[in-house]
Structure 1
Amino acid sequence: MCANFKPLNLKQLRDLNLPDIPFDYPDEVYPNYELPLLFKSAQGLEWRKVRFGMVPKWAEDKSIALKTYNARNETLLQKPTFINAASKCKFGVIPVSEFYESKYIENKPQRWGVWRKDGQAFYIAALYEICRIGEEIIRSATMITMDAIDHPMMKDFHEPGNVKRSVIIIPHERLDEWLSWNSPDIRCFVEGFPEVEFECSHVPKAKIEKMSPQLNFFD
């Protein structure tokens, strides 16, 4: 499961001709951190600051985000946490520079990063929700995942066994199609990313500051 990633940087955003992000966000994101989510409204592409980890409408507090940052595409319409957002087709993407997974070497987990060889950011399929807890409005999102037991790269991650998962990456040329999708049946988007366009390597975890800003477009 993907629980840690680096959002896109300023150069990557401009290379993709995306609108400016009007808020700061961390250099690295973990569950319950805030991140930039891209979605499509009647006005076009828009950014929202959301919490990493779905906070459903029935949640009593935000800590549930620590457990709901990934959602299996196979059960979106079965799990109480995700069914409302999935049935209403609240689809977005989380643009990232790289994401991290555990690879077990001699039965010990190592933190490995996955990124595009060309240095571009890429879009991870996401589901988002808006709810209220007390007087606070909570915007949150989860990454949608798929079975990766046969994926040439992703099958080597996670604990030893026959359960392997991968985030779903939306190709650049299908971004508008995904953001405009109006059916909870997303099977046509469930495909492993082309491993020839990506690479991975051991990336030891570095000490970071939780609230260190990634971007500030008002300098």
Structure 2
Amino acid sequence: MCANFKPLTLAQLEALGLTEIPFEYSDEVYPNYEMPLLFRSQQGLEWRKVRFGMIPKWADDLSIALKTYNARNETLMQKPTFQNSIHKCKFGVIPVSEFYESKYIDNKPQRWSVRRKDGQAFYIAALYEICQKSEDIIRSATMITMNAIGHAMMKEFHEPGDIKRSVIVIPHDRLEQWLSWKSSNIQSFVDGFPVEEFECAYAPKIKIEKINPQLNFFD
């Protein structure tokens, strides 16, 4: 499951010809972090700051986002968390520079990145939700995933076994079609991204050591 990614950069935003994002966001996003979502409104393409992880109207605790950041396309209609959004066709995309997955080497997980070879940002298919809790308006979204057991690149990730998943990448030339889609049947978009256009690489987390001021007392 994709639980960590880098949103698109300013340079990538300009290269795609998208409007400026009117809010700040983290360089890396994890579940329950705020992130930029692109969707289509009556006014055209719009950005919204949303939480990474679906927060349905009936949820009492926002921490549910820690468990709802990915949604299997096969069960969207059956899961109470996602039913409202899929019935109302609340489709959006999460534009990313790269996302991270675990590859098991000698039974130990390593963090690897997946990105486009040409350096462009790409669009991950998403469902979004808007609900009100007390005085607050809560906006949230989840990435839609697919079976990746037959995908040449993504089958190498996740824990050893027969269950392999991948995010669904919306091709640049199908963005408008996806954002304007008015059916809960999304099977025409459920397709593995073209391996020849992407690359993966080992990407360990950078550890930032905390420096105790007393250690530098005699420097």
- Offset of 1:136 from its aligned partner? 1.3
SS in structure 1 at match of 2:11: helix
Q: Structure with the greater relative contact order (CA < 8 A, sep ≥ 6): 1 or 2?
A: 1
- Asked whether the 8 Å contact 1:61–1:133 carries over to 2, the reply is no
Q: TM-score, normalised by structure 1?
A: 0.94
Structure 2, gaps ≥5 residues long: 209-219
SS in structure 2 at match of 1:81: helix
Q: Which residue of 2 aligns with 1:179?
A: 179
Structure 1, gaps ≥5 residues long: 209-219
Q: Which residue of 1 aligns with 2:89?
A: 89
Q: Which residue of 1 aligns with 2:170?
A: 170
Alpha-carbon RMSD: 0.7
Structure 2 CA distance for aligned equivalents of residues 207 and 5 of structure 1:
17
- Asked whether the 8 Å contact 1:104–1:110 carries over to 2, the reply is yes
Q: Which residue of 2 aligns with 1:215?
A: none
SS in structure 2 at match of 1:54: coil
Structure 1 CA distance for aligned equivalents of residues 75 and 99 of structure 2:
23
- Within a 5 Å distance, the mapping from 1:57-76 to structure 2 comes to 57-76=57-76
Q: Which residue of 2 aligns with 1:216?
A: none
Matched, 1:14 2:19: no
Larger Rg: 2
Structure 2 CA distance for aligned equivalents of residues 142 and 207 of structure 1:
28
- What letter corresponds to residue 164 of structure 2 in structure 1? K
Q: Deviations over 1:161-187 (max 9, x none)?
A: 000000000000000000000000000
- Within a 5 Å distance, the mapping from 1:180-195 to structure 2 comes to 180-195=180-195
- What letter corresponds to residue 118 of structure 2 in structure 1? D
- What letter corresponds to residue 108 of structure 1 in structure 2? K
Q: Which residue of 2 aligns with 1:152?
A: 152
Structure 2 CA distance for aligned equivalents of residues 120 and 61 of structure 1:
36
SS in structure 2 at match of 1:82: helix
Q: Which residue of 1 aligns with 2:34?
A: 34
Structure 2 CA distance for aligned equivalents of residues 200 and 193 of structure 1:
13
Q: Which runs of 4+ in 1 moved over 4 A?
A: none
Structure 1 CA distance for aligned equivalents of residues 39 and 136 of structure 2:
22
